[in-house]
Each structure stands twice: as structure tokens, then as C-alpha cells.
Chains A and B, each alone.
Chain A
């Protein structure tokens, strides 16, 4: 009986978090490569996703917790990262004269934000702050699936919904009206590896990239987890045997 209740308790924990975190329509359920206990990121998708972020998203959205040096996770070498970071202008200083100055980015710099501060970002976007994307898949109920759905969710508004000035209809956004205009269009970028840049392809790639940005430790975490659990299970079996042995001794003594 107590066992049943314990199982019920564990289940209710699961249902709590599901209920608490997901008030929205779920949308697409994609089989991402990074799901499951052995999941890993798809490196070529990550690289394409970086391209989509850089060419599309980064005009409004920052990615401030990622440093250029982190791109080694995507399969780039030191030289490539150095060249990539040098494309960006970083505000540094103050120098010996007390002035701020601009310099090319370095691998140790974090991704350059499109706006100097939150208020500037709001002012440039009609009062709506384009959120930082470093944690976006962890910060939204539904995670990667939600993000992907949102990116492909721009459809013609049904007649019943009046689309306000400066707002856009999105099938999967809470309330269906979103301040972000549709970001992705077919062939919006030209992929370096020749992949056809459909909306779905770009949405999928940038979602993969942002999932990595939110959880760059994921692959190492799962690898460590497998080892740790395997170790603990062996320890559990051994200690159970040891326990049986020791307690058998007790029963022998008594009879």
C-alpha cells in the first residue's frame, strides 16, 4: 500500500511540473537529436543554426551568456572562431584617456548584443523587449518544441481575431498576438553547406542551436549520468547482497 502511494507521489510530481509549466498549446512535437538519455546535438544543424541566429535573430535578440570561444562545441577550430569573433565590434574601455573605444571581437568576448541596454532595445521595438535567447528553451514551457512551433506558427489570422497595429498573428503564441514580426522566410539565408533554407529547416536549425546555447553541458551531463547510474546500480546490487549475507547471519543465530 505504501509503495503504491509512493509511486502515486512520484507521478503527481510529474503532473505538477507539466501542469505548472505548460499553459499553452503545445504545437509540434519534433524528434530532436538531443532528446533521450543518449541524445547529442547535430553539429551541422548547430552550425546552420548559428548562421540563422547571426543573420536573422541577432538584429534584435542578444545571446549574452554565450562567448565566441564556446563555438568550439559546434565543431569550429581556434582559427575559425578567432576570425568569426573579429567580425564583431566590441565596445571596450575606458582607456587611459577615460574614453570608451571600439575594437574587433576576441574569442573570449561574449556575443555582442544588438542594443546597449534593455531600454534601448525596448525603444527600438515599440516598447516590447526582445528577450535574450541564451536560455530561451529552458525559460519557456514546452522548450525546443515550443520555440520551433512559434517560429513556424505565423499564419493568416482567422476572421475572428482582430490583429492590432504592430502585432502579428501566431498560432502557438499565448493569446495568438505577438509583437515579433515573422522572422523566417524561405531562403532567408543561404546555407554555407547548401542545405535548402525552408522555413521549417531554418526554424529547426536555430532551435537546435538555441537548445545548445541554453544547455551546452547537455552531452557531458548525459554521459556522466550514464556512468554514475551504472556505478550506483552495481553498488546497490553488491550492497544488497552484502546486506542479505549479514542478516542471514542473524537468522542463523536465532534458530
Chain B
């Protein structure tokens, strides 16, 4: 057993002195530095993980700045937001960044998830990495919902009312739980105060789960577009400088697009009704969730029964947790799965359709389409994905990332860790 750990090997003596005692620089180097080996064939879809991290930092910083000027009281919340927009130095900029940042956080995370689904990154041995990601996604939705309440506009108020009422479907204790959540009989000042407290807390919880997400990522490293396991050093390059500069380029492009929204159409992704102060006595004619929650809202409304609707909605997210066990195909990347590829794109189109239907009035054709799309969502995960494992013949996989020679058939080369029964 070794008593004293080795001295760190940094050139700068101060860094070396610190790192020997507190290995933060070693940790950084292993996280995003030269000591983090990464598959060399990652494409631009792999940019969105680090991008999501940057967006979280932006959200936390602007959020703290807003918190310094915001008043969590039903009589002052709306006014204090307007004061931020009009009187606080740069307040409009900070608020518009935070407001649009929420939407862009979801855009980035949705692309990150879509990439994951396409390349089968959720499969063994990265199941926990995926599950932690779904936890982050759930926390993000909670945080976004809580934050949307804070400006205390009409959509804030009625959104909070509708979503807290989901819990009233719980048999026997539903009503007491709702009043416990609200701190009263309706969404009111106690609700606003606790939502504010939680909205401030949750981002730090997200940051904590992200740390676990990164630890889990580093256990087996990144997946790659071919979906095959890395064979040797020839397949790998250090994260720095290769992916740092690539991520930096991606970040620049992302921020330029983000700025178009922040500076030129800051309210495009919002809803006009939220510039009307909350009025508990009148519901807006057309109440819709923010776009990023829209697909799940569509699922909720597609089911005619209240309890079943809420269950379907939560089930739609819950199903993501067991995805690694629903998809037992040993091949990860959709490149080599001709049938999965087709159904993948159908799934994406279906999600977009659900998102669209979630903001339409659930009548006539929209209701029928909503039900069809909801059904397809569950069919995709519960029937098609398990079925493909049986009926699909994957294409030949390359031997290694560096070696373009294809092996014959889908041997265990490049497949996930073989399971016992195979």
C-alpha cells in the first residue's frame, strides 16, 4: 500500500504545489483537458453536451442577477419585472437572456437527446449515464415551470394552476396534496414564494447531477458515430486541444443564433398574455404551455380520462428511464440499423407533431391527430423498439474507428457488451 501519493507534474510551480495537495488541475485535465481521451470521429452533434453546460452557467449567472432585483410577492412581482426591464442597468438584456436561455437550453438538450437516440448512446455500458440525463431533463422541466410562474403574468398564474392540479388526480389524498403544494386553496402569494425558493435551488441540484453525469461519462468515455467500442490508442485523441476548439467554434455559432433571438425577437418564443398581470378571476381564452413542454401537454389532452391523462403524461417521460432495457439490439448506431433508422425519424416527426398539437385547441382533427401521435409515442417505445431487435438484420460493422475495413455480419465486434443469454 502506498502511503504518499506522487507529486503532480505541472510545469508551473504554483500550480504544481496546489495540485499536489488538492488535485483540481489534474481533475480538470482529466475532464476536459489533454488527459481525457476521446474518440477521434465525433461529429458536430457531439457539441451539444458541453453546450448545454455553458447554457446552464449562463442561466445561473443571469438568474442570480435577476434575483437581486426581483420581488417575490403577488403585489410586486409583475412590477419588479417591469422595473428590471426599464430601470435596472442592462436589466432588459439580462432578463431577455434568461427568458430565451430557457428555450435554448431545451433546444440544446433536445438535440443532445436526439443524438443519443440516433447513435444508441444509452446502451450498455452507459445506461446510468442516460438515466442521469433523464433526471437532469426532469429537473429542467420542473425548474422551467417554476420560473415561468415568477413574472406573475396571466400565463404564469394559469400555467401554475393547471400544472399543480395534475396532482389532484391522486386518489384520496389528491386535494390535500394540491393545497400542500400551493400553501392555500389556490395559486397565491405562498405559492409564488415557494416557487421562487425552489426555482433558485433546483439549478444547483441540476449542476450536481451534471457532475455525476460527467463522472459516469468518463467511466467508459464518449460513444461515437459508429457506435463501436474503441479498440486502441489509434482511435483516440485528447479532448484538448481537439475538442476544446471544436466546442468553442460550436459555441460561437450557437451564441450568434441565440443573440438573434435575444436582441431582435426576444418575445417570439414567449406568449403575449404573460405581459398581462395575473388575474385570478379571468382565464385567458387560449392557454398554452411553453413550447418545450408542449408534446407532453398534447399527450395529457389526448386521453379523455383525467387520471389516465396525467398517468400517460408522466408515463411518457418515465418510459425513457427503461429505454436501455427496451432496446436490446447489440448494435448502437443507427448507421448500421436500417429499420431503426426509419423508425427513429418517424419518432422525431411524431414528437414535432405532438409539440405542434400541444398548442392547438384539442378539437376535431387536432384531437384525433393528438390521439394518434400519443399512441405512436408509446407504440414506438413499447412495441417497435423491442421488436426490431428480433426482426432487424444490422449492417456489417467496421473493425475499428481507424480501420474502415468492415467485418462480416454483426459479430460482437463493436457491439455492446454481450449479455449472458446471447
Residue numbers of A with Cβ under 8 A of B are 1-2, 5-6, 8-9, 12-17, 19-21, 23, 37, 65, 70, 131, 134-135, 138-141, 143, 174, 214, 216-217, 221-222, 224-226, 228-229, 232-233, 235-236, 239-240, 242-243, 246-247, 250, 254
Contacts and interface: CB of A to CB of B under 8 A. Distances in A.
B111 A236 contact: no
B246 A243 contact: yes
Given A13-B269, A236-B256, A221 B345 contact: no
A8 B349 CA distance: 9
Interface in B217-272: 237, 241-242, 245-246, 248-249, 252-253, 255-256, 259-260, 262-264, 266-272
Interface stretch (B5-13, B85-93, B313-321): B85-93
B249 A240 contact: yes
Contacts of A235: 252
A225 B355 contact: no
13 contacts: A9-B352, A16-B359, A21-B271, A135-B276, A138-B272, A217-B85, A217-B92, A228-B259, A232-B252, A239-B245, A246-B242, A246-B245, A247-B242
Given A5-B348, A174-B285, A221-B93, 16 more contacts: A6-B111, A9-B107, A16-B356, A16-B359, A17-B268, A19-B359, A20-B359, A65-B86, A135-B82, A139-B275, A216-B86, A221-B92, A225-B264, A228-B259, A229-B263, A242-B245
Specify which of A5, A20, A247 lies most central, judged by the most chain B CB atoms within 10 Å of its CB.
A20
Contacts of A174: 285
Contact of A221 (B253, B263, B275, B294): B263
Interface residues of B, number: 53
Contacts of B96: 221
Interface of A is mostly: helix
Contacts of B275: 135, 138-139, 214
Nearest to B153: A139
Contacts of B345: 1, 5
Contacts of B118: 2
A20 B288 contact: yes
B273 to A, nearest CB: 7
B249 A236 contact: yes
Contacts of B268: 13-14, 17
Interface of B: 40, 45, 79, 82, 85-86, 92-93, 96, 107, 110-111, 114, 118, 237, 241-242, 245-246, 248-249, 252-253, 255-256, 259-260, 262-264, 266-273, 275-276, 285-286, 288, 291, 294, 345, 348, 352, 355-356, 359-360, 402
A1 B43 CA distance: 14
Given A229-B263, A250-B242, A23 B285 contact: yes
B352 A16 contact: no
A236 B82 contact: no
A16 B276 contact: no
B272 A140 contact: yes
Report which residue of A8, A225, A250 has the largest number of chain B beta carbons within 10 angstroms of its beta carbon: A225
A222 B266 CA distance: 11
Closest CB pairs A-B (n = 5) = A225-B263, A139-B275, A236-B252, A232-B256, A239-B249
Contacts of B273: 139
B67 to A, nearest CB: 20
A217 B288 CA distance: 28
Contacts of B264: 37, 222, 225
Nearest to B115: A2
Given A2-B45, A13-B291, A16-B294, A232 B259 contact: yes
Given A16-B356, A131-B276, A139-B272, A243 B245 contact: yes
B267 A138 contact: yes
Contacts of B252: 232-233, 235-236, 239
B355 A16 contact: yes
B401 to A, nearest CB: 12
Contacts of A23: 285-286
A229 B253 contact: no
A254 to B, nearest CB: 8
A253 to B, nearest CB: 10
A233 B85 CA distance: 27
A12 B359 CA distance: 11
Contact of B241 (A15, A16, A226, A246): A246
A12 to B, nearest CB: 5
Contacts of B110: 9
Given A5-B348, A216-B86, A222 B263 contact: yes
A235 B259 CA distance: 14
Nearest to A253: B237
A192 B40 CA distance: 71
Nearest to A18: B268
